[in-house]
Amino acid sequence: MLKTSKDIDIRFSEVDLMKVVWHGAYPLYLEDAREAFGQKYGLSYTGYLDNQCYAPIVDMQIQYKHPLRYGSQARIDIIYKPCISAKIIFDYEIRDRHTNLLYCQARTVQVFMDMNYNLMIYSPEFYVKWKEKWETHKISPEEC
């Protein structure tokens, strides 16, 4: 399983009138986790560009379990989900760093586009090699 974690401290600028994290801040936390994953495993946005493609998010699901509040100390865990299609799928959990309370679960799906914004039906060569390097074929892939 390819997984990493990133600590996040909830800032005042991220809370709303109800004194909880505004729902629009969660995609930014997911972005932080994807960047941490990319740094650890070599699957980054600059890497996509270096390989002449983009990897936009086409689906994002977020389930809010408990409210995050200003001053909370949380951890976001990101897990790569192997897929047989030309997609990058991540699952996420945001938990309290001290109590492990689950605040949020999420999933993102990214596809590949060439530099002319055309959908790539097959995984780009660099991504195929990346999956081979990390032996993701040994992890039961999802039918996606």
**Which pLDDT tens digit goes with each residue over 95-126?**
999 999 999 999 999 999 999 999 999 999 99
Please identify every stretch of the chain with a pLDDT value under 50, giving residue numbers as ranges.
none
Identify the H or E element spanning 90: strand 87-96
Instruction: State the pTM of this model.
Output: 0.94
Position 135, amino acid: E
Euclidean distance between CA atoms 91 and 2, whole angstroms: 11
Q: Note the Cα 4 to chain centre separation in Å.
A: 10
